[in-house]
Amino acid sequence: MTKKKMVQWDPADVKAELLSKYPPKVARKRAKQIMINEALENETPEITANVRTTPGIITMRGCTYAGCKGVIMGPTRDIVNLVHGPIGCSFYAWLTRRNQTDAGPDGDNFINYCMSTDMQDSDIIFGGEKKLAQAIQEAYDLFHPKSIAVFATCPVGLIGDDIHTVAKNMKEKFGDCNVYAFSCEGYKGVSQSAGHHIANNQVFRHIVGENDEEKPGKFKINLLGEYNIGGDGFEIDRIFNKCGITNIATFSGNSTYDQFASAHTADLNAVMCHRSINYVADMLETKYGIPWIKVNFIGAEATAKSLRKIAEYFGDKELIDTVEAVIAEEMPAVDEVVSDVRIRTDGKTAMMFVGGSRAHHYKELFNEMGMKTISAGYEFGHRDDYEGRQVIPNLKVDADSRNIEELVIEADETRYRPRKTEKEMKALEKAGLQFKHYDGLAPDMDNDTLIIDDLNQYEAEKLVELMKPDIFCAGIKEKYSIQKLGVPMKQLHSYDSGGPYAGFKGAINFYNEIDRLVNSKVWSYMKAPWQKNPQLSAAYIWE
Amino acid sequence: MLLRHTPKEIPTERKALTINPAKTCQPIGAMYAALGIHGCLPHSHGSQGCCAYHRSALTRHYKEPISAATSSFTEGASVFGGQANLLQAINNIFTVYEPDVIAVHTTCLSETIGDDLKQIRLKAQNEGKIPEGKYVIGAPTPSYVGSHVTGFSNMVKSMTEFAETTGKKNGKVNIIPGWVEPADMEEIKRMAKLTGVKTILFPDTSGVLNAPLTGEYKMFPDGGTTVAELKSAGDSVGTLALGEWCSADAARELDKKNKVPCNVLDMPFGLKATDRFVDALRKIAGVTVSDELALERGQLVDLISDMHQYFYHKKVALVGDPDQLISMTEFLVSIDMCPVHIITGTPGKKFEKRIREITKDMPFEVNVKAKGDMFLLHQWMKNDPVDLLIGNSYCKYMARDEDVPLVRWGFPILDRQGHQYFPTVGYKGGLRLLEKILEALLDRKDRDDPEEKFELVL
């Protein structure tokens, strides 16, 4: 059975210890980003989030370009993504996020390509607009794509290249190719998060609503904020198909231009990653009248719950029955594995510091294995991701994020159509279905656990040292330093080349993977026999 | 097909669009170089995305923690200058992480706005933000000039800031190994030791990026060139710079600044380049080459003769960084293979000239391009197929589409492990390269031969 390793540190002591080494100014700031959770008493204290990174602190965070191109737009397979900048930005986002795509027999798939204007010093000095226009032309001539997306990088904003006008001119010139641009310079905002917002705005402005054609199928939804890492989206789609739910558009795992263009024809938006896509969810509701609900397909029980929510929304007897039948059919295989691994995982502890949503979603999977999450946090979550959307009216946009555009959306004159009457919505709410609602991470965390925003290298190491979790979950930059400490580390961005982890089959994959990691023999090999027993007392045995 | 949109036809030359680059940007090279200084934390003066990307890419290649800090520019800093960010960073880094050295490099952001690193360092010094006995060095590494190789070179050059001339020679030879694996640096030191030459190797990532798993995490592992060694480099009898692109600038700077004469050699990949390296060491030190090195050389020649039938006139496509490609091309030609398509993303006119010289007697037409990309390489392969492809992990997409055996070599290798432990430089490294090439060719032969031709003994 598992050995009890949890060191009985008081969370306030852990927090004090984390802060003790900082210069006073840094300590004051970090104190507000480290919260001891008291959610169970319903006294959720306030956390500071979505604020600038402390220079030199060794943050895990990336930039706005990564949030825009890398996360939201990258996974779309039939749009040519052209990065306007020096080569690095494009190179590092080249196949490094595991957004799987399936082009079908004769579909377009540009996911394996990396395209850049590869700006040189002359472009910095004289401007890069001409080169950008030429690059768009060359991409068009070579590939004849439906659409070309242009992404700005740090120097583009500084030298004043007008990428939007270049894109507009090229779009007009081609006639059959939608060209648009994203002002996602890396220095904007304070993290990837600003890039999500910029991507949401431009997708909504330039693509959503472009195709009014009625798609076949019943129970039409959009799956928002699901990027098909390691095939997660494939597994979710498998389950949708089985249930008879029609997925019009996934934003944006294995997606196509046309999916975005048709998104306004769906009847419900199911939001997975709240942080990255809640803007599109809100805009689709305001402009077209499509309500949204929060779902989570990470965890078998969470998956079942999310399917039931969708069925409840449509209120169709046949759908409700099918969903129940699918759950009943899928669960035995899940139960079999979980009851096996639970013998070896029950009571173990986990820490999770992942982007903007997974630190919450994966808690469900750990719960199912009897594992306790003792500390969690986001790189770039906002307060609503921690505390719930009810705090949104009180959020102040600070100076560092003020320049991120907020689109003003109004109901579409001809296409706005409430999917449910007010009465129907009220009835659904009364029955427990919550619209436009997300509770955030904190209420799901136990009392006295530590919720930490924008965790850095020093704090990660210190946390592991003090609280000795059985597994630590974060990204590639953290992986090997944690493992050097002898603690297994699971990447919850890339899944360490594994997956899917979503849906029923994904849950099984995850249980097996965590079982493997926390029970691997390798963690017992760190000391050689002569290090365990340095005293040399015996003589040569043959003497 | 993974790269289904790549056409065989090459109608017009692309002028503005780079597709599937055979290079990346400067700062990652500077970060790698800085990790080769003992007790050094690399610092990226720009917005934090660069630093995150560079750390991730290096981590994926070495499967090791890569520590580096960043100035985390915001929009305000990007307009008004990043001085305050860097000063704060220096203070925070020395307080929290306690390195001996902070090695600052820049990005396209701080270079475009024109931040003056020297002036900021001076200000940090004057404000007492750099503790006694600690150092901040810096190199400008604009991403819109050259490539990751240029960034590596710029940071190595900045290391010569440490070099002091005391007037008393230390009897050592500086070796600047260039961007090679930690195991290669180890191997270069071993070869030098076998010739009996005392050396200062910088940078040196051995012991840094191949650290053991012991239950203890050292942000600053035991390896790396020490500041004392870097200071002493100014008193050395000479410098051997391995690779024109990676190492020559630093060597020439030492020559200019500290009057340490230098000799720029090719990176010691393959038989001939290793011969020249060992010979140069021998001449500098005035020693006889040890029997052990002569034995290793003989073993490499033996393997070449034993396996020659599988190499002879096989066509190879190559992509990578210029210094490595020059030596590799020479090695392949020297064993009668035929490198026919050669691409580097790194600019430099000398590259094409050197390759043409090395391949001038080859029986096949050679395509060579500096500032090329993998899209062009793929098109060349479609028009003139090859028997083998040598390059980094990104080559696996072309290898699978064209059904060509692939030998992973260069940077980055993201999908295999072990490369950080086994050298490919020197005679020993040559043996390993040949083994890898043979393995790829013979695996393919075993896969493709019809059953009646399937052989036990090869």
Q: Which long-range CB contacts under 8 A does B246-249 form with residues at least 24 apart?
A: B246/B149, B246/B152, B246/B153, B246/B156, B246/B176, B246/B178, B246/B179, B246/B321, B246/B323, B247/B153, B247/B156, B247/B176, B247/B177, B247/B178, B247/B323, B248/B153, B249/B153, B249/B154, B249/B156, B249/B157
Question: For residue A341, what are its two tokens?
Answer: 């691994």
Enumerate the β-bridge partners of residue B242.
B265
Instruction: State yes or no: is A361 an active-site residue.
Output: no
Distance CA B13, CA A134 (A): 12
Any chain A CB within 8 A of the CB of B95? Answer: yes
| pLDDT reading at A41 higher than 70 | no
Q: Domain B26-161: give its CATH code.
A: 3.40.50.1980
Distance CA B245, CA A511 (A): 49
Q: What is the pLDDT of residue B11?
A: 85
Mean pLDDT, all residues of chain B: 97
H helix intervals, B64-107: 75-80, 83-96
Pick the CATH number of B173-290 from 3.40.605.10, 2.40.280.10, 3.40.50.1980, 1.10.3720.10: 3.40.50.1980
Instruction: State yes or no: is A63 an active-site residue.
Output: yes
Distance CA A9, CA A377 (A): 19
Distance CA B315, CA B340 (A): 6
Between A and B, how many residue pairs show a Cβ–Cβ distance under 8 A?
255
Question: How many angstroms from the chain centroid is the CA of residue B196?
Answer: 26
Residue A59 in 3-state DSSP?
strand
How much of chain B, in percent, has pLDDT values that exceed 70?
Answer: 100
Per DSSP, B53 falls in state: H
Q: Which member of A52, A97, A238, A516 is catalytic? A: A97
Amino acid at position B222, single letter: D
Q: Which residues of A touch B43 (CB under 8 A)?
A: 56
Any chain A CB within 8 A of the CB of B44? Answer: no
| pLDDT reading at A2 higher than 50 | no
Instruction: State yes or no: is A196 an active-site residue.
Output: yes
Q: Are A432 and A303 in contact (CB under 8 A)?
A: no
Reported as a single tens digit per residue, the pLDDT across A299-338 is: 999 999 999 999 999 999 999 999 999 999 999 999 999 9
Q: What is the pLDDT of residue A39?
A: 53
Across the interface, whether the CB atoms of A65 and B213 are under 8 A apart is answered no
Question: If you measure CA to CA, which chain B residue comes closest to A62?
Answer: B49
DSSP string covering A214-257: PPP-SSEEEEEEE--BTTHHHHHHHHHHHHT-EEEEEEETT--H
Distance CA B266, CA B324 (A): 8
- Residue position matching structure tokens 């034995």: B295
Q: Are A486 and A526 in contact (CB under 8 A)?
A: yes
Q: For residues B322-349, give the mean pLDDT.
A: 98
Q: Which residues of A touch B9 (CB under 8 A)?
A: none
Q: Are A411 and A389 in contact (CB under 8 A)?
A: no
Query: What is the predicted ipTM?
Result: 0.97
DSSP string covering A310-321: HHHHHT-HHHHH
- Which of these ranges, A138-147, A530-539, B405-414, has the smallest mean pLDDT? A530-539
Distance CA A130, CA A119 (A): 11
Q: What is the pLDDT of residue A417?
A: 97
Mode of pairing for the β-strands spanning B135-139 and B173-176: unpaired
Of A57, A189, A484, the CB nearest to B213: A484
Q: For residues B261-265, give the mean pLDDT.
A: 97
Question: For residue A89, what are its two tokens?
Answer: 């930005």
Q: Are A369 and A349 in contact (CB under 8 A)?
A: no
Whether B26-161 and B173-290 share one fold: the answer is yes
Mode of pairing for the β-strands spanning A349-353 and A471-474: parallel
| pLDDT reading at A463 higher than 70 | yes
Q: Are A364 and A302 in contact (CB under 8 A)?
A: yes
A368-388 in b/e form (b: 16+ CB < 10 A) is bbbbbbbbbbbbbbbbbbbbb
| pLDDT reading at A36 higher than 70 | yes
Question: For residue A502, what are its two tokens?
Answer: 């979503």
Q: Which member of A30, A39, A49, A66 is catalytic? A: A66
Of A112, A115, A483, the CB nearest to B213: A483
| pLDDT reading at A4 higher than 50 | no
* Cβ count within 10 A of residue A231: 26
- Residue position matching structure tokens 């040559």: B430
* Cβ count within 10 A of residue B414: 17
DSSP string covering A72-117: IITT-TTEEEEEESSHHHHHHTSS-S-B----TTT----TT--EE-
Instruction: State yes or no: is A97 an active-site residue.
Output: yes
What pTM does this model have? 0.97
* Cβ count within 10 A of residue A393: 6
Enumerate the β-bridge partners of residue A451.
A35, A376
| pLDDT reading at A543 higher than 60 | no
How much of chain A, in percent, has pLDDT values that exceed 70?
Answer: 96
Across the interface, whether the CB atoms of B75 and A187 are under 8 A apart is answered yes
Q: Which residues contact A49 (CB under 8 A, 6 or more apart)?
A: A33, A378, A381, A382, A383, A385, A386, A453, A454
Q: Are A84 and A119 in contact (CB under 8 A)?
A: yes
- Under CATH, which architecture does the B296-452 domain have? 3-Layer(aba) Sandwich (3.40)
| pLDDT reading at A7 higher than 80 | no
- Which phi and psi angles does A467 have, rounded to 5°? -105, -10
Mode of pairing for the β-strands spanning A450-452 and A34-36: antiparallel
Burial of residue A412 (CB within 10 Å: 0-12, 13-18, 19+) is middle
Q: For residues A342-352, give the mean pLDDT.
A: 97
Q: Using alpha carbons, select from A378, A369, A334 the residue that is nearest to residue A350.
A: A369
Distance CA A231, CA A242 (A): 17
Q: Using alpha carbons, select from A202, A149, A201, A156 the residue that is nearest to residue A171.
A: A149
Any chain A CB within 8 A of the CB of B93? Answer: yes
First-residue to last-residue Cα distance in chain A: 42
Q: What is the pLDDT of residue A1?
A: 38
Reported as a single tens digit per residue, the pLDDT across B15-40 is: 999 999 999 999 999 999 999 999 99
CA dihedral A346, A349, A351, A357 (to 10 degrees): 30
Per DSSP, A22 falls in state: S
| pLDDT reading at B118 higher than 60 | yes
* Nearest CA-CA distance, residue A318 and chain B, Å: 41
Mode of pairing for the β-strands spanning B69-70 and B40-45: parallel
At what angle are helices B374-383 and B395-402 packed, to 10 degrees?
20
Across the interface, whether the CB atoms of B5 and A108 are under 8 A apart is answered yes
Judge if the upstream peptide bond of residue B412 is cis by omega within 30 degrees of 0: yes
Reported as a single tens digit per residue, the pLDDT across B214-248 is: 999 999 999 999 999 999 999 999 999 999 999 99
Q: What is the pLDDT of residue A44?
A: 57
Burial of residue B223 (CB within 10 Å: 0-12, 13-18, 19+) is buried
H helix intervals, B243-290: 244-258, 270-285
Question: For residue B51, what are its two tokens?
Answer: 């630093």
Of A120, A186, A457, the CB nearest to B109: A186
Across the interface, whether the CB atoms of B108 and A187 are under 8 A apart is answered no
Q: What is the pLDDT of residue A40?
A: 47
pLDDT band for B284, please (50, 70, 90 cuts): confident
Strands (E), A303-446: 349-353, 372-377
| pLDDT reading at A204 higher than 60 | yes
Q: Using alpha carbons, select from B71, B151, B70, B79 the residue that is nearest to residue B113.
A: B79
How is the beta sheet containing B173-176 ordered, strand by strand? Answer: B199-201, B173-176, B238-242, B262-265
Q: What is the pLDDT of residue A533?
A: 83
Mean pLDDT, all residues of chain A: 95
Q: What is the domain partition of chain B in residue ranges?
A: 26-161, 173-290, 296-452
